[in-house]
Amino acid sequence: MRQERIDANKLELNEKVVSIKRVTKVVKGGRNFRFTALVVVGDGNGHVGAGLGKATEIPEAIRKGKEDAAKKLIKVALDDNGSVTHDFTGKFGGAQVLLKKAPDGTGVIAGGPARAVIEMAGIKNIRTKSLGSNNKQNVVLATINALTNIKTPEKVAELRGKTVEQILG
């Protein structure tokens, strides 16, 4: 399922750095140090993306990660109380992230990398559980995968050839 492209220039994007890793390459003359930055960007209103930046200096790696994330923005389907429309498990690599719909007043119950994605997307009420791997990059991408695959009741009704009232009961 392909998402339509979202123009990042029209959105006011905030960024959150999830992790910065120092990578060492041993060469003939000694060691080369480079940095990898995992960055999540979002407008707090249903748009979120994650990107990876690599450079010899940290600020440059963060800038590249932000640019990469802005290219990969997705639209998230939210319900009336700022939660997801239904439960879903997203998978990426060895990581799985379970997103559970929550009533108003629950807040964001999520750990580390998944929390960054959810806050940047503007979700106000949700419960999550990270299953499997706790690799930050895979957890972020599994969360993005779950948010991508969540459908609105209107979309489900259209796919099944029914009305929204029949779907919601």
Tens-digit pLDDT profile for residues 145-161: 999 999 988 888 889 88
Mean pLDDT confidence for 90-110: 93
Strands 108-109, 88-92: pairing is unpaired
Residues 14-51: tens digit of each pLDDT: 999 999 999 999 999 999 999 999 999 999 888 999 99
Residues 75-94: tens digit of each pLDDT: 998 888 888 999 999 999 99
* Contact status, residue 95 vs residue 135, Cβ threshold 8 Å: yes
- Whether the predicted pLDDT of 3 surpasses 80: no
Q: Where are the CATH 3.30.230.10 domain residues in the chain? A: 77-168
Give me the CATH code for the 8-74 domain, please. Answer: 3.30.160.20
d(CA 143, CA 133): 13
Place of tokens 């109380």: 81
12: helix, strand or coil: coil
d(CA 5, CA 84): 21
Indicate the pTM of the whole model: 0.90
Mean pLDDT confidence for 125-141: 94
- Whether the predicted pLDDT of 1 surpasses 50: no
* Contact status, residue 22 vs residue 33, Cβ threshold 8 Å: yes
**Residue 3 has what DSSP assignment?**
P
Place of tokens 């990876």: 52
Place of tokens 């480079």: 34
d(CA 51, CA 37): 8
150: helix, strand or coil: coil
Q: Where are the CATH 3.30.160.20 domain residues in the chain? A: 8-74
The CATH class of 77-168 is: alpha beta
74, two tokens: 């997705």
126-132, strands of its sheet edge to edge: 88-92, 95-101, 126-132, 108-109
